[in-house]
Structure 1
Amino acid sequence: MSKNVLVTGGAGFIGRNMIRGMLGDGYHITSLDNFKIGGWEHIPEDIRDHVEWVQGDTRNIDLLMQVVKGKDSVIHLAAPSSFLMYEEDPVGGASVTTHGFINLLEAMRRQGLGKLVYASTSAVYEGNPVPYVESMKLSPPDLKALSKKWNEEVARQYSERYGITVIGMRPFSVYGHDEFSKGGYANVISLFVWAVLNDVIPVVWGDGRQTRDFIYVEDAGRAFQTALERDLATQEFNVGTGVETSFNEVLSLIGEELGKEIEPKFVDVPIAIYAQRLMADVSRAVEVLGFQHEVDVREGIRRVIKAARGAQSTQKWPGISSAQMYFETLPAS
């Protein structure tokens, strides 16, 4: 297959880790990003000079027409990554997610591109029992999930009407070693590690028994690349591990790795819509996509700790060491 690919949101957390793997496999990457979360200073040196970086917004159809031209396919990651971002700016979050997505599909249609792999979200399943299966009926409870579900429906329409293969990826709880650019929006694993290393008491919403299907960022990036490379029909895939881990278990693992007793601060959940359990059924990903995760939670936590310790002596540390305190500034719904 040809390897001239546009990645939107390539400077973001999943994007920059995915791009590293793709460059190693001989891809030529153009990235379109507004650098709002994944700022230039967070782009690793080993990929910085090997990608064509374009600063811009997916809501700019003229710009999309330019950057799509001559590409073979697209991986679309450009959208607010945290449900908190949609809570704080509902109009902006929904606008980027929906307007940017249909712009991209329309630009691809006009320029004759045939394949798109894009990030949906596991939040589309909320309200269903776990484990979440791709065939479940979706009734999204919040604006992020609703916007992503709309994207999935538009994707299928463009696939059926114009023959574009559109693969929707539904990531679960993605975490990893270099979430520094996300600050208080980072995954709870990173927030807990940063807090404990800074002798700050971790803040836990509820009783800590809520669970997530935590998938390491490099595994998540590999899932997107795998979907790009496989000859598949338009469909959706869970991007998870099929393993459910509670917040209390995460804190226990962090304590074991650091040799510390961790006593978190439990607070009431400050938002109205909050999932108590998240876990993927990974059967379709394994059997159809041919993807399985490689990094388990303990190993992932070790990598997060190692990266955080390396950041302690840098300018990144003061900004992230107490990033979790952002939780306590949220008004109760």
Structure 2
Amino acid sequence: MSRDLTRPRGRVARSLGWLARRVAGAVFVLWATATLIFFAIRLVPGDPAEAILGGPGSQASPEALAGVRAEYGLDQPLLLQYLAQLGRLASLDLGTSYSLKTDVAGLLAVQLPGTLLLAVLSLALAWLIAIGTAWWATLGGRVAAAVSSGLEVVASAVPHFWLASMLIVVFSSTLGWLPPVSTGTPAGLVLPVVTLALPVAGFLGQVTRDSLFDAAAAPFALSARARGESRGGLFGRHLLRHAALPGLALSGWAFGSLLSGAVVVESVFARPGLGRTLLGAVTLRDIPLVTGVALVSALSYVVVVALGDLAERAVDPRGRTA
């Protein structure tokens, strides 16, 4: 009886410990991101006070520049500016955009859903492509394995800007099937999603295919074949579950790669989102907006990594007691 009561308590303790580690890791990642952005943006040539007043072309007077520096604390020592920013971020105050003169949190709330939709759809498509190529490589013999391996290497090495340009030339300019820019419709999502998904699918496909071959040689697969399991059943019920574990561990990295790739893809396809917002903010030295975008992206990455860990624990029961 006492042993039965101890087991749930042990599971709860492990779950709370896992959650505490995740929260501590998230806080550290956000602090490191805010620190890196704070010092990196100040290495960019130019005066933040000029950016607040409209850029170098505004021809602001020295008095106006001095007033802005005093208002935003830019005349303080760098360490005091850094501590002040950490204090604002700790109170969930992302500040006001220098260039757009609007609340950063409200602006990010508008731009974030589009980028998250693009990244989630791209990750889902990347997994479908990876599983499809792994299925073909496993069931198609040596030729299929060699061809799929070559395609995965090529896909993982293709730059986003080149792939986006080729897709626009083929499917928009030549065939006229899809719009070359974002139109706010499902058709306008196809090319951006494919552009982001293919390189990630190449990485996931390589990892999944190698794991499939290892799993196919394992004793449990040999036992399933001896029981008369079909090739499709062996793949779906046995091999894929084991082969997906390394890919699930990489899903957090893949999502981070998709967020970084969104900077290029959203610019090429004129799609609103965090990527285009970040590009414009860096160009204009908009420190609060750059910091806000970086922190939201880092937080999204941390959440996806945690979800990937949960999925891995669900697929592999050994991870629940590790």
- State the TM bucket, normalised to the shorter chain: under 0.3
* TM-score (structure 2 length as normaliser): 0.23
Structure whose alpha-carbon radius of gyration is higher: 2
* Structure with the bigger percentage of helix: 2
Higher relative contact order (CA 8 A, sep 6+): 2
Normalising by structure 1, we get a TM-score of 0.23
Q: Which has the higher strand share?
A: 1
